[in-house]
Structure 1
Amino acid sequence: RIDLVLKTDKFIYVMEFKQGATAEEALAQINEKGYADAFASDSRTLYKIGVSFSDEQRNIERWLAE
């Protein structure tokens, strides 16, 4: 299940959030499970974003986009 899809007039953002895992793992999940596939024919620019949250900092640790 996709954690977040944000649509604007020009962009679509597909986001996966992970706590206690890496941003790379979050981005890999988007690609492996095909979360962005439903938007492939859309004319808007598509961004896939993986976000990891730190248990210690209780904040975003790292994010990656493609």
Structure 2
Amino acid sequence: MKKLPTLPTGNSSFENIRRNGDIYVDKTRHICQMISDGKYFFLSRPRRFGKSLMVSTLKCLFKGKEELFEGLWIKSKNKD
């Protein structure tokens, strides 16, 4: 039987989530839009709603860790 991916409860590291094959809801389309708008953003979400994960995703994106983005929207967009 194939092992199902796990929910990364308590893990806010994008790199760890992607390397472990945990479930990740792809928000890279929204992140790309946010970056291209070039405005200031205030991330005000309730506690435990992924602010740290989004910042971690941005960090990996700007560090150029392309292998972590395989299969995500932002990687397929950049192939054009």
TM-score computed with the length of structure 1 as normaliser = 0.24
Bigger proportion of residues as strand: 1
Bigger proportion of residues as helix: 2
TM-score computed with the length of structure 2 as normaliser = 0.22
Q: Which has the larger radius of gyration?
A: 2
